[in-house]
Amino acid sequence: MIIAASIKINAPLSTVWDVFTDIRNWKEWNPVCRECRLEEGDAMACGACFSFELNPMILSIRIKAVIDQFEPGKQVVWSGSRLGIDATHTFTFIENDGHVLLKSEESFSGPLLFLARLIGIPSRLHQLSNRLLESIKQQAESRR
């Protein structure tokens, strides 16, 4: 299962990147990944581990993710597993004429994926992805 979303942000790449990578301040603006904290490492970087709470349905779940790829100004990829589902989340930053196209792609696999589909998790995760991107946009554009 793949969930993809993108948004155009009217801010320089450096601003969008700073908003996204300042994980310690996500609590100030990020309504999707709540209670975010670094578990290993001092900042968002390859090999760092962080956790956050996500509310895909009624109850919140804590997700622990490891940053697998970190290309400054270009891409961040993290992965994690929870409740029988493996996930990889890729964020791609594309600068073009003073704005940034931010792409989000989540891929999911695992034995309990069929159950997630039955109870409507994909639709909810797509809503959360869009909400996250909109929040990044608002935060970056407010810093202009």
pLDDT digits (tens, 9 = 90+) for 80-134: 987 777 899 999 999 999 899 999 999 988 877 666 666 556 677 788 899 999 9
Q: Which fold has domain 2-139?
A: Alpha-D-Glucose-1,6-Bisphosphate; Chain A, domain 4 (3.30.530)
Domain spans of the chain? 2-139
If we measure between CA atoms, which residue out of 60, 62, 56 comes closest to residue 115? 56
pTM of the model: 0.89
Q: How many angstroms separate the CA atoms of 84 and 102, rounded?
A: 29
